[in-house]
Chain A
Amino acid sequence: MSISSSMSADGKTLTIAVDGRFDASSLDEFRSCYEGAVCESPISFNVDLRKAEYLDSSALGMLLVLRDYAGGESATITISHCSPEVKKIFAISSFEKLFTIQ
């Protein structure tokens, strides 16, 4: 499990990539990715779950906290490369209303 982040060249999109397991065990790592980012506001976020195999409800909470940090209603957050299983979890929790799920 590891989480890494990178800023786009124009400084407007922060991509956070999750590898392996996405749950409370990676809480601090996940948070420090965006809290540490010096950014021009407003920016958008992309959570890349291409390599995320496992996910539970604590990850859902972490995504909501990120949304809150990014401005709540006005936040632009994309969750990309979700596996069918992960999409199912997001669907159960109606996350497609809050995030752009790809």
Chain B
Amino acid sequence: MSKVSYRPSKILIADDSPADRLILQSMLQRLGYVVVLAEDGVQAVEKFLSEKPEFVFLDVIMPNMDGVETAIQIKEKAGDDFIPVIYLTSLADAPSLARCLSAGGDDFLSKPYNPIVIEAKIKAFSRMREMNQTLALQKNLIEKNNRHLIQEQNVAKQVFDKIAHAGSLKLPIIRYYMSALAVFNGDVLLADVSPTGSLMVLLGDFTGHGLPAAIGSMPLASIFYGMVNKGFGMSEILREINNRLNQTLPMGLFCCATCFDISFRKQRVLVWSGGLPDSAIYRGATRTFERITSKNLPLAILANRDFKAEPVRFELSAGDHILLWSDGIQEARDRQGKMFGEQRLTSILERGLEASAVFDDIIGEVQAHIGEGERDDDVSLVDITFPDAELGAQMEKKGSKGRGCLQDWSLNFRLESSSLRVFDPMPLLLHITSEVPGLRQSNSLLFTVLSELFNNAVEHGVLGLQSSIKQSAAGFSEYYRLRKEGLENLPLGSWVMLEFEHGVKHNGGLLTIRVRDSGDGFHPTNKTTSGDTQHVYHGRGLTLLRTMCESLVITPPGNCVEAQFRWLHEE
């Protein structure tokens, strides 16, 4: 605490006795204060308003308005500002003094006056006034900050709600209950239909709740919806989410999650679960539950190289349900702090009820258990019905509509000399093929195919390099030196043309790639991997192409190569 530095600059004395007034006035002036004088209560209030003194001495008995009434009025006019009011009195009986103080004064000073006591009282009340002012300032600041915070949270919540609830939670086959502990919910439920017709669902529970938890769900939701919309598979989506959360969340903040990829056509679900309680598959035919146990660490904990996004597969048929919940269910506490518990939940699951009754019973009994008790975690419960074929087909259509993904297409791409010298077409071409949902998963293989085809055309076609140069390690380096040199000095009029045709096929697609070049053609070497692989630094490209492509046709004189690349959806 700072030392008392505060001194009232101006003191008001109200006393109807001129002699008493004068005595006190001269004492205070000697102590160095500026003094304002009033002769009665009415005048005291007027002077208080006009002169704004910071300390008031009031005689209790005055004409027009007595000290007690004057004190009440002055206190009222001072509002939140603490103005010490000290009664001047020769009263000695305790009840009168008590009445004075309870009416709004702060202390009293007995006549005759003692300058040491006066100085001490002024100092004491100045300290009080100072504390009071600090308190008032802090209160204002807190109020202001709080208003600000609530306003910020409301804006953030609007953004959050838009991002977190952008998908297909309104599908008729999804039923969910989410209670929020704070403005923001630490549980996040995401669902959307991918362009391949799979329903992707993710229930996440961030450590903690409120704003810190919600911050994590922003990247979670935007990656999820972005990637589901582009047709990425569940493993890739989880890897990307894990990677981003691992890099951005502070230590100790992570996300327990369960993710489902439900295919209506294949009648199966792929499940990945990390850290959330068991989820369960309800078998409509027998009204029993199969538990799905979490086998992985929550998202954000492992660096991506150690992260495994391998899902488990379950077959489904019409009338089955998937039920998942966050630990807020088991950990819901009643007034005595007793948890709802795993056992109560299991007993509901084992009642052999209709799926909808199971949902109602869980929510009903959890709420009854909590009663008037304090909620200390977010409670979420989700039920997904596996629909019959007709409804399933309707669900699938929600995915492909207006999503702007490449399906059937063709592309001719011709690179002239000036481009060939400097431009590397691989990233661009892979970017285009990535727009086909599902083909992206084959990017790694497709790179090899495209790279072999393109480099064949450039090296053997346009530049006319002979593979036989790569007979030795030194020749290998020489070959690439010549390639570089050849490209730098490439004459005008050379070109490589890449033609693509893509068609969607059952369970995947067929990509035809035709590469032509301006060269004289080349003779595919006969030296494809023979027994003597150790000293041959070339001849593997064609073998790779032949193995990876469904067909490979080299049209004489060798400056047109056509490859057919078939790909299948990830399963």
Interface residues of A (CB under 8 A from B): 21, 23-25, 27, 31, 50, 53-58, 60-62, 64-65, 67-69, 72-73, 81, 83, 85-86, 88-89, 92-94, 97-98
**Cβ B533 vs Cβ A94 within 8 A:** yes
B residues near A23, Cβ cutoff 8 Å: 451
B96 touches A (CB below 8 Å): no
**Cβ A50 vs Cβ B305 within 8 A:** yes
A residues near B305, Cβ cutoff 8 Å: 50, 81
B residues near A98, Cβ cutoff 8 Å: 533-534
B343 touches A (CB below 8 Å): no
B residues near A69, Cβ cutoff 8 Å: 473
B residues near A94, Cβ cutoff 8 Å: 529, 533
**Cβ A56 vs Cβ B541 within 8 A:** yes
Closest to A97 in B: B533
Given contacts A24-B455, A60-B540, A65-B477, contact A89 B534 (CB under 8 A): no
Interface residues of B (CB under 8 A from A): 305, 424, 426, 443-445, 447-448, 451-452, 455, 470, 473, 476-477, 480, 483, 529, 533-534, 537-538, 540-541, 543-544, 547-548
B residues near A86, Cβ cutoff 8 Å: 444
* B interface majority secondary structure: helix
Q: Apart from A56-B448, A56-B452, A57-B538, what 4 extra A-B contacts exist at CB < 8 Å?
A: A23-B451, A31-B477, A57-B448, A58-B451
Q: Closest Cβ of chain B: how far from A60's Cβ, in Å?
A: 5
The 10 closest A-B pairs by CB, nearest first: A56-B451, A57-B541, A54-B447, A85-B444, A68-B473, A57-B540, A61-B537, A65-B473, A92-B547, A93-B540
**Cβ A54 vs Cβ B473 within 8 A:** no
B residues near A31, Cβ cutoff 8 Å: 477
* A interface majority secondary structure: helix
A selection of 15 A-B contacts at a CB cut-off of 8 Å is: A24-B483, A53-B444, A54-B444, A54-B451, A55-B444, A55-B447, A57-B544, A64-B473, A65-B473, A67-B534, A69-B473, A72-B534, A85-B445, A89-B448, A93-B543
Out of A65, A88, A93, which one reaches B533, CB within 8 Å?
A93
Q: How many A-B residue pairs have CB under 8 A?
A: 83
Q: Closest Cβ of chain A: how far from B443's Cβ, in Å?
A: 8
Q: Complex formed: what's the CA distance from A23 to B305 in Å? A: 22
Q: Closest Cβ of chain B: how far from A45's Cβ, in Å?
A: 15
Q: Closest Cβ of chain B: how far from A57's Cβ, in Å?
A: 4
**Cβ B540 vs Cβ A25 within 8 A:** no
A residues near B538, Cβ cutoff 8 Å: 57, 61
B residues near A83, Cβ cutoff 8 Å: 444
Q: Complex formed: what's the CA distance from A40 to B270 in Å? A: 51
Q: Complex formed: what's the CA distance from A63 to B73 in Å? A: 95
Q: Complex formed: what's the CA distance from A98 to B305 in Å? A: 26
Closest to A53 in B: B444
Q: Closest Cβ of chain B: how far from A26's Cβ, in Å?
A: 11
Q: Complex formed: what's the CA distance from A26 to B101 in Å? A: 89
Q: Closest Cβ of chain A: how far from B240's Cβ, in Å?
A: 14
**Cβ A65 vs Cβ B534 within 8 A:** no
Q: Closest Cβ of chain B: how far from A29's Cβ, in Å?
A: 12
Q: Complex formed: what's the CA distance from A17 to B447 in Å? A: 20
Q: Complex formed: what's the CA distance from A88 to B540 in Å? A: 13
Q: Complex formed: what's the CA distance from A33 to B47 in Å? A: 89
Out of B448, B476, B547, which one reaches A54, CB within 8 Å?
B448
A residues near B540, Cβ cutoff 8 Å: 57, 60-61, 92-93
**Cβ A92 vs Cβ B473 within 8 A:** no
Q: Complex formed: what's the CA distance from A65 to B479 in Å? A: 13
